[in-house]
A and B are shown apart, each in its own frame.
Chain A
Amino acid sequence: MSTLPDPAPEAPSAEAPVAEPGRESLHYAVRNPKLIIGVSLVAILLAVGAIGPVLLGDGNPNEYVGPQAAAPDGTYWMGTTTFGQDVYAQFVHGLRATFLVGVVGGAIAAVIAMLVGFLAGYRGGVTDEILNMLTNVVLVIPALAVLLIINAYMGVRSVAVQGLFIGLTSWPWAARAIRAQTFSLRTREFVDLARLSGSGTWRIVFREIAPNMSSYLFMMFILLFGGSILIASSLDFIGLGPTEGVSLGLMLQSAQQWSALQLGMWWWFVPPGAGITAIVGALYVANVGLDEVFNPKLRES
């Protein structure tokens, strides 16, 4: 789900514009099982993606190194493909690509969403109308369909460019949510005060408004991150993934293309899907945990 619930505005009172002391959030954070489980899982997978390839000597994971279509054993932990590629080597390299596309896509989408959302929500009026229209248009166009066309016409594709285009198409829902939040914050006293003291739009946005919804922005980035990974894996699977290297989605694609299913080679298609599910699922669970940390109402009493 890429919809955040409408947050209960983090209603700090007029005198305390900066949300609850960080110490209290931290206290709940280190005691929230959802957050701990989610973050640990992401950290472990990230570590595997970062260190795994190094331990394997950074060779090309697509090389034919072992026996063909071998089930997992001591040498090839996740078995080998029909061509004798090491599935584990592909998996650890694939994790890297998956995290990369998540970060690039999520970050670009978050930046656009913030620019559009803050500007529309803070300025209002004609600016808001135009940006809102733009947001709605991009929101309605199915991102994957656009990405299909773009990627199909692109001869050479890289993970970073894939992330870039995913970011360019997946920001609207986040922009909408930020706009709504900004809208409710811009009439608060501390914003008025900043305005009266002659601060410019972006200064007010980044000094007064953004800090007040920082937790919300962070949670939004997590959802955009997870969303990018899922879209990228779909693109890879359709055959429009990076033309070089390996990703978890590409692994699924080649498993599908070479009938791993019919051949019963479960070790070929289970790990990449499980990897994606684990990353995205852990991010979502961490996100709920964060929501509970930042929003006292949701803490179980």
Chain B
Amino acid sequence: MRRYFARKLLIYALTFVVAVTVNWMIPRFMPGDPVSAMVARARVSQPEAAEAMRSYYNNLFGFDEPLWQQYLHFWGALVRGDFGISIFVFPTPVGDVLLDALPYTLGLMIPAVLLSWFVGNWIGALSARRKVLDNTVLPAGYLLTAMPYMWIAVILAWALGAKAGWFPISGGYSLDIQPGWSAAFVLDALHHWVLPFLSLFLVALGGWAIGMRNMIIYELESDYASYLSALGAPQRLIRRYAFRNAVLPQVTGLALQLGVLVAGALVTEIVFAYPGLGSLILAAIQNQDFFLLQGAFLFIVIGVLIANFLIDIVYVVVDPRTRTGMAGGTS
């Protein structure tokens, strides 16, 4: 088990280094002269912002320094938590801008991911090898999982928001309410939260349900299931084992799907102008705010790494084989 975690941590450390390096390399090795191109493309109204941007970029890129020194400086700034200054909300540090948006993204993603996972697995398990359910769950699941996140968001916003008028379709809270811990604000925020949550939840739900259904069918065809059948064990026991074992790849699947789920959250936020990382990224792109964009990239990478590690812990809990010291589970 110690080896398992040591290996995982090594991979995550390596991943982080690679991500930071990619983040550092892209502006330097893309064709063209990034500084002038960016400053020119940035439609910054305040002259001091443009000046800060130019000097910061020059400082950051430090073209007079050797590359390795530029690279070390980049890491140094990162370790100090310095992601640069945002152009879009000049002169707030990028770190602060991102931290303000983070709770909205997490508040949207964590419930949507966890709930869709549990409910999806449950529906999938029910439908496996039950003809009537399977014939409804399977097509519905494929339809949902094939939908681009932003499209289901737009459709929900249109049907339940614009047409039915049940839910607001824009923002994280009403503009006339002061954000805080008042009951009015919380209720209002929840009201704004429903549609983006539902969009994320539904698409992910389809994927989990299908995954579980397919896994269970494979498990029911496995050798241990045949053996139990040959010994006359009731279907109940066999299905229980099959479910238990089919959950394992679904846990791994959760880790594999994190990137897709993050992407889904980002575009969903954009549809609803929800004040999380996705809307920030859109603003950063529209305002050519590269510090903000690169900061958001690192935030997402760090978030995904942490989530991966948590899933690893869960995996150790649910797959006994990882605890036996034998090479069980996935590496």
Interface string of A254-288 (1 = CB under 8 A from B): 01100001101010011011101111111111001
Contact with A along B142-179 (1 / 0, CB 8 A): 11011111111011011000100000010000000000
Q: Is the CB of B211 within 8 A of A276?
A: no
CB of A273 within 8 A of CB of B155, answer yes
Given A143-B259, A234-B263, A281:B146 Cβ within 8 A: yes
Instruction: Return B280 CB to nearest CB of chain A, in Å.
Output: 11
Q: Are A5 and B214 in contact (CB under 8 A)?
A: yes
A-B contact count (CB 8 A): 189
* Contact A269 B154, CB 8 Å, known A1-B210, A3-B256: yes
Chain A residues contacting B112 (CB-CB under 8 Å) are none
Q: Is B214's CB under 8 angstroms from A239's CB?
A: no
The answer to whether B34 touches A140 (Cβ under 8 A) is no
Judge whether B84 is part of the interface by a CB distance below 8 angstroms. Answer: no
Q: Closest residue of chain B to A230, judged by CB?
A: B148
Contact status A142-B258, CB under 8 Å: yes
Does B262 count as interface, using CB distance less than 8 angstroms? yes
Bound CA span A204–B230, Å: 39
Known A-B contacts A145-B262, A280-B146, A285-B142; A261 and B26 likewise in contact (beta carbons under 8 Å): no
Within 8 A of B (CB), among A1-38: 1-3, 5-6, 8
Could you tell me if A240 and B151 are in contact, using CB atoms closer than 8 angstroms? no
* Selected contact of A277 from candidates B12, B148, B258, B270, CB within 8 Å: B148
Chain B contacts for A231, CB-based, 8 A:
263
Complex interface: chain B residues within 8 A of A148 (CB): 281, 285, 293, 296-297
Contact of B18 among A3, A141, A150 (CB under 8 A): A141
Q: Which of A46-54, A61-69, A72-80, A152-160 contacts B (4 or more CB under 8 A)?
A: A152-160
How many angstroms between the C-alpha atoms of A270 and B37 in the bound complex?
37
> Contact between A149 and B26 (Cβ–Cβ < 8 Å)?
yes
Cross-chain contact A140 with B150 (CB below 8 angstroms): no
Main secondary structure of the interface of B (DSSP, over half): helix
Is there a chain A Cβ closer than 8 Å to B70's Cβ? no
**A131-139, A194-202, A207-215 - interface stretch:** A131-139
- Check A238 for interface membership: any CB of B closer than 8 A: yes
Contact of B15 with A141 in the complex, beta carbons under 8 Å: yes
When the two chains form their complex, are residues B148 and A149 in contact, meaning their CB atoms are under 8 A apart? no
Pick the contact of A8 from B34, B157, B207, B221 — CB < 8 Å? B221
B97 within 8 A of A: no
B133-147 CB mask vs A (1 if < 8 Å, else 0) is 000001100110111
Cβ of A237 within 8 Å of any chain B Cβ, yes or no, is yes
**Segment among B73-81, B102-110, B301-309, B318-326 that sits at the interface with chain A:** B301-309
Asked whether, in the complex, the Cβ of A276 is within 8 Å of the Cβ of B259, the reply is: no
User: What residues of A have a CB within 8 angstroms of the CB of B249 in the complex?
Assistant: 3, 5-6
Q: Which residue among B37, B143, B267, B293 has the maximum number of chain A CB atoms within 10 Å of its CB?
A: B267
In angstroms, how far is the closest chain B Cβ from the Cβ of A3?
5
A residues less than 8 Å from B234 (CB atoms): none
Name the distance in Å between B230's Cβ and chain A's nearest Cβ: 16
Q: List chain B residues, Cβ under 8 A from A133.
A: 11, 14
Contact of A3 among B32, B253, B297 (CB under 8 A): B253
Q: How far is the CB of A14 from chain B (nearest CB, A)?
A: 19
B9 CB, nearest partner CB in chain A, Å: 12
B33 CB to closest chain A CB (Å) equals 11
Q: Across the interface, do A6 and B267 meet the contact criterion of CB distance under 8 Å? A: no
A237 touches B270 (CB 8 A): yes
Residue among A1, A137, A273, A284 making CB contact with B154, cutoff 8 Å: A273
Residues of A contacting B138 in the complex (Cβ-Cβ under 8 angstroms): 288
Residues on A with beta carbons closer than 8 Å to the beta carbon of B149: 234
Interface assignment of B39: CB less than 8 Å from any CB of chain A: no
CA distance A141 to B298 in the complex (A): 10
Residues of A contacting B278 in the complex (Cβ-Cβ under 8 angstroms): 238
- Chain A residues with Cβ below 8 Å from B152 are 273
Q: CB of B132 within 8 A of chain A?
A: no
A142-B262 in contact (CB<8A): yes
Interface centre among B146, B158, B211 (most CB of A within 10 A): B146
**Cβ A152 vs Cβ B169 within 8 A:** no
A150, B26: Cβ atoms closer than 8 Å: yes
- Closest partner residue, chain B, to A256 (CB atom): B271
Q: How far is the CA of A240 from the CA of B270 in the complex (A)?
A: 13
Residues of chain A within 8 A (CB-CB) of B59 are none
**Structural contact, A238 and B154, CB atoms closer than 8 A:** no
Residues on the B chain within 8 Å of A56, using CB: none
Among A2, A141, A230, A284, point to the contact of B257 (Cβ < 8 A). Answer: A2
Question: How far is it, in angstroms, between the C-alpha of A114 and the C-alpha of B32 when the chains are bound?
Answer: 34
A-B contact pairs, 7 of them (CB 8 A): A1-B145, A1-B211, A132-B331, A238-B266, A262-B162, A272-B151, A276-B148
B residues engaging A (CB < 8 A)? 11-12, 14-15, 18-19, 22-23, 26-27, 30, 32, 34, 37, 138-139, 142-143, 145-152, 154-155, 157-158, 162, 169, 207-208, 210-211, 214-215, 217-218, 221, 249, 252-253, 256-260, 262-264, 266-267, 270-271, 278, 281-282, 285-286, 290, 293-294, 296-297, 300-301, 304-305, 308, 331
- Contacts A141-B259, A144-B260, A148-B296 known; list 18 others, CB within 8 Å: A3-B249, A8-B218, A8-B221, A137-B14, A137-B15, A141-B15, A144-B266, A148-B281, A234-B150, A239-B286, A252-B151, A256-B270, A256-B271, A264-B162, A273-B148, A273-B152, A273-B154, A276-B146
List the 3 shortest-distance A-B pairs measured between CB atoms, nearest first: A273-B151, A281-B146, A142-B259
